[in-house]
Amino acid sequence: LLFTSFLLSYLLLVFIKSFWQRIPPGLKRPPGPRGYPLIGNMLDLGKNPHRSLAEMSQKYGDVMQIHLGTRPVVVLSGLETIRQALIKQADDFLARPDLYSFQFIEDGQSLTFGRLSLDVWRANRKLAQTALKAFSSTSLLEDHVSEQADCLIAKFQELMKEKESFEPYQYLVISVLNVICAMCFGKHYNHEDQELLKMLNMNNEFGEASASGNPADFIPILRYLPNKAMKAFQEVNQRFSALVQKIVKEHYLNFDKNNIRDITDSLIDQCQGEGMDVNPNVQQLNRKVTYIVNDLFGAGFDTVTTALSWCLMYLATYPEVQKKIQEEIDQTIGRERKPRLSDRPMLPYTEAFIMEVFRHTTFVPFTIPHWKLWKDPCDFSPERFLSADGTGISRNEVEKVLLFGLGKRRCLGENIGKWEIFLFLTTLVQTLEFHVLNRETVDMTPRYGLTMKYKMCEQFQVKQRF
């Protein structure tokens, strides 16, 4: 009875508050759709929130307000509006929302999701940038990607001998994961290694839980009710943190300042320089390093995998585009050596193809092709990113693609991600041709999530080029 009375009182308070919100003098509420008490506009978003928000922005403008549960949310659209917020007013938009679920990601200390103080955020970001810079040299990355790309080619060829066609994503994701493991932890795993597969499974669980969202983030009373989804989200974060902590602790035990092996070692070295206690028996010794490694690991994995999987599907769907890329690689690199990052300026069509995949797929759900920015936005045309003479990339067009964010919160691993995608793609295309069984039409409708993946395609095929 007491709980029922409390619940009714809470609902009444929320109902009243949803109609009366104080606005500071001199300001006015941005335009936007009216929502329902308690749930706001949650029902209006549907299964594809990014599309629903795009439609709303056409009615209410580039700055609008919606309500997710009891939370007011400002939605920005339009390139200039976004630049105004994230570049010209960067400090005003630097923080993260205090969503309930975020406290379960690295104990609320995540660079990506945590509500860190500005000084702590800047210090941790600087640590991460230094470590990335130390272990993202072109030669190291080329070696890691080359090894994994060769493994992937061999696996694809093996699968083609066993059956007519296959779904490539599950094999691609292992190769990309291994590159990240090599950079962060200094080792490649066997593709059947249980620790590697645990990382993969936990990453999938995190993505699924995050993509679906949790009403408790927006309707506070739900935090106090049984919540299986939130419990599962909390548990997967705990399991992943425990796994990374174990690896970091092993690094502490074997740490040699004169032999920095990977990103984790680099972070330990920097923290030791700051005076952090490196006694492996102290419970808190590796938390700071663990938090940053968690962020770098997650940021460098899912986006790259999703981008590459879309690239392969577009190659199979647009054979004329694939042929142009093959010809460009053959003429510039030949077949006697592997692609290198130094080849990028000489492969403008390949670079344009990658940018067009970024643009056309909208596989990060807040980047939607728009008629105000692009001519014929629904058409797939790498040529739109080429310079007028076709020998380079149009920087003006590239800057319209906000896949890695903008401003001070721009993704730390943007360059590494782009390099990795380029190296994997060119190595694969140099050796293989990609097709769809019986030229069937691939369903390119993305599935909504943290990153938008295509629907599984079991009709994918590869063929040795030479």
Q: How many helices (H) and strands (E) does the chain have?
A: 16, 4
Are 338 and 460 contained in the same domain?
yes
Per-residue pLDDT at 264: 92
The residue among 71, 69, 77, 62 whose CA lies nearest residue 30 is 62
The whole-number pLDDT of residue 19 equals: 46
- Same domain, residue pair 286 and 334: no
Nearest to 421, CA basis, from 374, 372, 357: 357
What phi and psi, each to the nearest 5 degrees, are found at residue 386?
-85, 150
Same domain, 317 and 268: no
Residue 455: the pLDDT is 80
Q: Record the tokens describing residue 283, joined without a space.
A: 């419970």
Note the pLDDT of residue 8. 46
Is residue 6 pLDDT above 60, yes or no?
Answer: no
- Identify whether the C-beta of residue 411 lies closer than 8 Å to the C-beta of residue 132: no
pLDDT at position 283: 46
Confidence check: pLDDT of 310 > 70: yes
SS3 (DSSP) at 65:
strand
328, 350 in Cβ contact below 8 A?
Answer: yes
Q: Is the pLDDT of residue 15 over 50?
A: no
Is residue 134 predicted with pLDDT exceeding 70? yes
Residues 241 and 215 in one domain: yes
Q: Is residue 108 part of a domain?
A: no
| Length of the chain in terms of residues written | 466
Q: How confident is the model at residue 188 (pLDDT cuts 50, 70, 90)?
A: confident
Q: Is residue 94 part of a domain?
A: no
Which residue is associated with the tokens 């502490």?
252
Residues 239, 287: one domain?
A: yes
Distance between CA atoms of residues 62 and 235, nearest Å: 38
Mean pLDDT of 321-327: 98
The per-residue pLDDT for 50 is 81
Three-state DSSP at 290 gives: helix
Same domain, yes or no, for 257 and 356?
Answer: no
Q: What is the DSSP secondary-structure string of 92-156?
A: GG-S----GGGGGSGGGT-TTT----HHHHHHHHHHHHHHHHHT--HHHHHHHHHHHHHHHHHHH
| Segment 43-88, tens digit of pLDDT | 998 888 888 888 999 899 999 999 999 899 999 988 899 899 999 9
* Whole-number pLDDT of residue 24: 66
Quick one: 314 and 271 in the same domain?
A: no
Integer Cα distance of 357 and 428 in angstroms: 16
Q: Is residue 338 part of a domain?
A: yes
CA atoms within 13 A on the CB side of 398: 13
The CB-side HSE value for 15 (13 A sphere, CA atoms) comes to 6
Q: Are residues 367 and 246 in the same domain?
A: no
Contact call for residues 466 and 433 (beta carbons, < 8 A)? no
Report how far residue 69's alpha carbon sits from residue 74's, in angstroms, rounded to the nearest whole number.
13
Residues annotated within a binding site for heme: 411
Give the integer Cα–Cα distance in Å for 72 and 21: 10
For residue 416, the enclosing domain spans: 302-464
- Alpha carbon 239 to its chain centroid, in Å, reads 20
CA-closest candidate to residue 363, choices 437, 426, 313, 435: 313
pLDDT for the residue 121: 86
pLDDT averaged over every residue in the chain: 86
Nearest alpha-carbon partner for 345 in 284, 395, 403: 395
Q: Distance between CA 4 and CA 1 in Å, rounded?
A: 5
The answer to whether residue 71 is domain-embedded is yes
Is-contact 93 407, C-beta < 8 A? yes
Confidence at residue 32, expressed as pLDDT on a 0 to 100 scale: 95
Residue 270: is its pLDDT beyond 60?
yes
Residues 316 and 420 in one domain: yes
Q: Would you say residue 367 lies in a domain?
A: yes
212 pLDDT more than 80: no
Q: Which residues are annotated as part of the binding site? A: 411
Answer yes or no: is 90 within a domain.
Answer: no
The whole-number pLDDT of residue 23 equals: 64
> Do 336 and 459 reside in the same domain of the chain?
yes
Strands (E), 214-360: none
SS3 436: strand
Residue finishing a domain among 235, 268, 293: 293
200 secondary structure, DSSP code: H
Q: Is residue 446 part of a domain?
A: yes
Q: Give pLDDT, residue 12.
A: 47
Considering its fold, how many domains does the chain have in total?
Answer: 3
Q: Is the pLDDT of residue 318 over 90?
A: yes
pLDDT digits (tens, 9 = 90+) for 242-258: 999 999 999 999 999 99
Residue 171 lies in a domain: no
Sign, Cα dihedral of 96, 102, 106, 107: positive
The CATH number for 436's domain is: 1.10.630.10
For CA atoms 431, 437, 440, 445, give the dihedral sign: negative
- Cα(343)–Cα(348) distance, integer angstroms: 10
Question: Domain boundary residue among 267, 293, 319?
Answer: 293
Same domain (yes/no): 261, 196: yes
Tell me: do 277 and 331 sit in the same domain: no
Average pLDDT over residues 125-131: 89
pLDDT per residue as tens digits for the range 420-437: 999 999 999 999 999 999
**Whether the predicted pLDDT of 363 surpasses 80:** no
**Left, alpha or beta for 362 (phi > 0: left; psi -120 to 50: alpha)?**
left
Identify whether the C-beta of residue 454 lies closer than 8 Å to the C-beta of residue 446: yes
CB 307 within 8 A of CB 363: yes
How confident is the model over 356-363, as a mean pLDDT? 86
For residue range 142-160, what is the model confidence (pLDDT) as tens digits?
999 999 999 999 999 999 9
pLDDT tens for each residue of 86-115: 999 988 888 888 889 989 988 888 888 888
